[in-house]
Amino acid sequence: MALAEAGARGRLLRWPRVLLFGDSITEYSFQENGWGAYLAERLVRKCDVLNRGISGYNTRWAKLILPRLITESTSADSIVAVTIFFGANDSALKELNPKQHVPLEEYAANLKSMVQYLKSVDITADRIILITPPPLQESAWEKACLAKGDKLNRCNATTGQYAQACVQVARECGTDVLDLWTLMQKNQDFSSYLSDGLHLSTKGNSFLAAQLWSRLENKLSALPSLLPYWRDVDHTNPEASLL
């Protein structure tokens, strides 16, 4: 059978999509042992996991980009989950990092705006997960800043305020939320979760992956595997199994 004929007979294969939208902690999530790579492995043949992390970005910039990533005409209905993971840059101290800093109230408004946009293209609240920034280990991040000739430009208490704002937006908008800032500090020294005081270590990636999977598993585990298991393909008439 010619390929064109096979294509005409068979339905277009469309993988559902999980969209990871965030800053560098999302961009780096497909590195070895990364939390995004973990999700992609768990969901292989069920969903495409799309990395849309953009290092250094804040919510002020992100809200401008989101409508360019997802529109109704680009099959928003095929998106089964979206994570929105910003705040590590928004919470930078204004006087030391004015380019990335976003005021707390604007940060909350930007998150809400992004959730409302997703709802406007028919991505329902139950498919949206907000993730708070992780806690900041100040001494380690100060070393990273000094190595670049900068002063310590973030503090954990401020990051915590942004995390609380993220949780509040999720509550108001009816979405799920992963409060990484609180969970990582619960009854433990959180420094091992971070590689440089800000970004996630292997342990931090594993922690986030487990926490996120516990929220996604119920939504996504029932999705069928795409295409039959190879032993189930009728080798004498593969068209009957595959088209």
Catalytic pick among 24, 192, 195, 201:
24
Identity of the residue numbered 3: L
In the annotation, is 24 catalytic?
yes
Cβ atoms < 10 Å from Cβ of 5: 10
In the annotation, is 139 catalytic?
no
Catalytic pick among 48, 196, 201, 206:
196
C-alpha triplet 133, 75, 174: angle, nearest 5°:
40
In the annotation, is 199 catalytic?
yes
- Active-site amino acid positions: 24, 196, 199
